[in-house]
Amino acid sequence: MDFHATEGWNRRELIRGTAMLGAGAMLMRPLPTLAADGPMAEIRKAAEAGKEASVQRLREWIALPSIAAENRNMPEGAAYMAELAKDAGFTNVEIVPTDGQPGVFGTIDVGAPRTLGIYFMYDVKQFDPAEWTSPPLEGKLVDKPGFGLSMVGRGAVNQKGPEATFLAALHAIRAVKAKLPVNIVLVCEGEEEIGSPHFRQIATRPNILAALRKCDGIFIPASWQDRNGNVAVNLGSKGVIELELVASGEKWGRGPKGDIHSSLKAMVDSPAWRLVAALNTLVTPDGNTPAIEGWFENVRPLTDREKSLIREAAKHLDEAQQKQMLGVQHWIDDLPYEDALIRLAQEPTVNIEGLVAGYTGPGGKTILPGRAVAKLDLRLVPDQTRAEAEKKLRAHLDKHGFSDVEMNVSGGYDPTETDENSRLIRAELATYKRLGVQANINARLAGSWPGATFTAPPVSIPAGHFGIGHGSGAHAPDEYYLIDSTNPKVAGIVDAAIGYAEFLYTLAAIR
């Protein structure tokens, strides 16, 4: 559904999802009913009754793609996020301006002794409809073998599906007029997919900072159960820098300022080859280890405890299944699985996201390009910082004679770390145990999110991920989120909503 086609509708009714979901797969309830009576049993009934509205709410959110990299639907995305928050019971909801795209903030204050922070993002990655087997904005329901009926769409799992499911939990709790066991602070941004360049402005705004500092912790909703139902409790995440390197005849003073005929290569320098030469200095010949001067000065190795956590988690993971899902046959250096997982957590990386120069259409076009661009992401580990890494990359390029190569940083943030003895992590582990879900403590997530904004001063609270359910294909074609599970070990949308509700009660009760 095109979002602009809904402008004549009542927005609140749209968000509530009044349309009905078509018949789908029979839900197999994989999780134990957590209480035979009391509020959780009633909350489950309300979540089941509200399932169709929850699914439609997600579908219509997917239909509005906010893409920061394209400056697409950003004001509309923030306004829609604000309405979703209000409809789920948040008050004092405000759209927060930044030097970039706006964020959203809201609270639910029930006078509870404890407060939980929730981080949302309303932006999604770019997409090319030609690469999808199902239209990326339709939210079509498709069967995924081994999991069940799933909604396909851009943002389905990253992050609108898990976020919509958390909202579904709040709707279910409100529907039975149960009092929330904790206060909730919601902070949301629209630039996560470009490295959160202005998110700190949101989190440190005086009223938002004051609210966040009252929180026992903050998490981003996640739906990462594998086929065996396992989840990870992450004690940190790598930091990231997103940037592009640009070589051009204009800046270099050699080569053409624009594209010229390729026959002239015999007497004219090539900016494209210059960029390739610069890139080759950034890594070892195999491309697997950063070679930037001083890059490892502040890299803190994993502790023995962290390595033991990874080895223990490996016992519950399926290496063959992971290779199949990733489409790979070997790990770097043909490492054994445990060692590959340790390397995944421990090593900083220099990755080429994309290379663009000259003509890339069908057939050939004999030109010598005047400009070449490489898009990179650099993953950082403790005790590296974004500021240090940017400075060292620039110094490296200059030292190797590439001072003309432009370095345009679009966003990024430092690594995140959270103490495994924090109340947030203990509540996660206790909730998973109560749900009957195998939880593996992960020393460090190889991916990145702006959790360092919360764990570092001035906010200084624990931050992590929590949730059950399943989805896959983030940043890729045919991204999906599980709605009706046919796998008895994996939660569908109703059970995932109950998982969030259970976490709220666990956090309120845990010592």
User: Which DSSP category does 416 fall into?
Assistant: E
Q: Alpha-carbon distance 8 to 54, whole Å?
A: 22
User: Which DSSP category does 224 fall into?
Assistant: B
pLDDT for 38 equals 59
Strand partners, 334: none
User: Which DSSP category does 23 fall into?
Assistant: P
Q: Alpha-carbon distance 190 to 67, whole Å?
A: 8
Q: Please provide residue 76's backbone torsions phi and psi, each rounded to the nearest 5 degrees.
A: -65, -40
pLDDT in tens, the chain (511 residues): 332 333 333 333 333 333 333 333 333 344 444 443 458 999 999 999 999 999 999 999 999 999 999 999 999 999 999 999 999 999 999 999 999 999 999 999 999 999 999 999 999 999 999 999 999 999 999 999 999 999 999 999 999 999 999 999 999 999 999 999 999 999 999 999 999 999 999 999 999 999 999 999 999 999 989 999 999 999 999 999 999 999 999 999 999 999 999 999 999 999 999 999 999 999 999 999 999 999 999 999 999 999 999 999 899 888 998 899 889 999 999 999 999 999 999 999 999 999 999 999 999 999 999 999 999 999 999 999 999 999 999 999 999 999 999 999 999 999 999 999 999 999 999 999 999 999 999 999 999 999 999 999 999 999 999 999 999 999 999 999 999 999 999 999 999 999 999 999 999 999 8
Q: Alpha-carbon distance 378 to 386, whole Å?
A: 9
DSSP 347-377: --EEEEEEEEES--SSS---EE-SEEEEEEE
Q: Please provide residue 189's backbone torsions phi and psi, each rounded to the nearest 5 degrees.
A: -130, 165
CA distances from 262 to 95, 267, 362, 367 (A): 52, 10, 17, 4
Q: Three-class SS of residue 176?
A: coil
Q: Three-class SS of residue 296?
A: coil
Half-sphere exposure (Cβ direction) of 110: Cα atoms closer than 13 Å: 18
- What is the β-pairing status of strands 406-413 and 231-234? unpaired
Which residue, 176, 28, 11, 151, is CA-closest to 84? 11
Tokens at 244, concatenated:
């592009």
Provide CB contacts within 8 A for 309, sequence distance 6+.
235, 440, 441, 442, 443
Q: Is the dihedral of CA 336, 467, 196, 11 positive or negative?
A: positive
Q: Please provide residue 113's backbone torsions phi and psi, each rounded to the nearest 5 degrees.
A: -65, -30
User: Which DSSP category does 257 fall into?
Assistant: S
Rg (CA), the chain: 24
What are the structural domains of the chain?
A: 3-235+416-509 (3.40.630.10), 239-304+334-413 (3.30.70.360)
Q: Is 478 left (phi over 0), alpha (psi -120 to 50) or beta?
A: left
The total of other beta-carbon atoms located within 10 Å of residue 158's CB is 25
- The Cα angle at residue 335 between residues 331 and 341, in degrees rounded to 5: 75
Which residue, 115, 98, 74, is CA-closest to 423? 115
pLDDT for 321 equals 86
CB 382 within 8 A of CB 416: no
Half-sphere exposure (Cβ direction) of 46: Cα atoms closer than 13 Å: 21
- Residue 354, H or E segment: strand 349-357
Which residue, 384, 405, 75, 80, is CA-closest to 236? 384
Q: Alpha-carbon distance 38 to 375, whole Å?
A: 54
Q: Alpha-carbon distance 158 to 234, whole Å?
A: 17
- The Cα angle at residue 506 between residues 501 and 507, in degrees rounded to 5: 100
To the nearest 10°, report the CA torsion of 420, 422, 423, 424: -70
| Distance from the Cα of residue 482 to its chain's centroid | 17
- Residue 185, H or E segment: strand 183-189
Q: Is 29 left (phi over 0), alpha (psi -120 to 50) or beta?
A: beta
pLDDT for 497 equals 98
Q: Alpha-carbon distance 201 to 64, whole Å?
A: 25
Q: Three-class SS of residue 418?
A: coil
- The Cα angle at residue 451 between residues 470 and 380, in degrees rounded to 5: 100
CB 405 within 8 A of CB 415: no
